[in-house]
Amino acid sequence: MKIPEEYEDVLHTLIHEMSHARLDHLNRKDIPYGIGEAEAELSTYLVGQHFGYHFKDESAAYMKGWLDNAKQEGHTLSNENLDRAMNNARHIIQDINAQLETKK
C-alpha cells in the first residue's frame, strides 16, 4: 500500500475514523470517550506499522492525552480494550490486504 508522504496524515485520520466505526463507538455507551479514542488510535498505530507507516509519535501523544483524561475520570485501558483494538487492527489489515489482492 503506497501513499505519498503528504497524504499520510489523511491516511492516519481515515484509519482512525474507520476504527471508531468498526469498534462501534457511536453506540457503545459503556466505553468512556477517552478509552474509545485510545482504542481507535492503538488500532490506527498497529495498522500503520503493518503497512510501513510510522504513526508512533503522533499516536503516542494522542493516546497519552486521552488516557490521562480517562484516568482523571477514573477509567483505565483494560485487557479487553487492548484485545478490541488489536482485533480491530487485524480485521482492517485483512480487509485492506483483500482489496489489494483484488487490484493485482
Contact 53, 3 (CB under 8 A): yes
% the chain with pLDDT above 90: 85
CA 4 distance to own-chain centroid: 20
**Cell output for 24:** 462501534
Report pLDDT for 2. 60
Q: Mean pLDDT throughout 21-43?
A: 96
pLDDT digits (tens, 9 = 90+) for 40-64: 999 999 999 999 998 999 999 999 9
Mean of all residue pLDDT scores within the chain: 93
8-12 long-range contacts, Cβ below 8 Å, gap at least 24? 8/53, 8/55, 11/48, 11/53, 12/44, 12/48, 12/53, 12/55, 12/58
pTM of the model: 0.90
Q: How far apart are CA 51 and CA 96, in angstroms?
A: 10
pLDDT > 80? residue 73: yes
**Cell output for 4:** 505519498
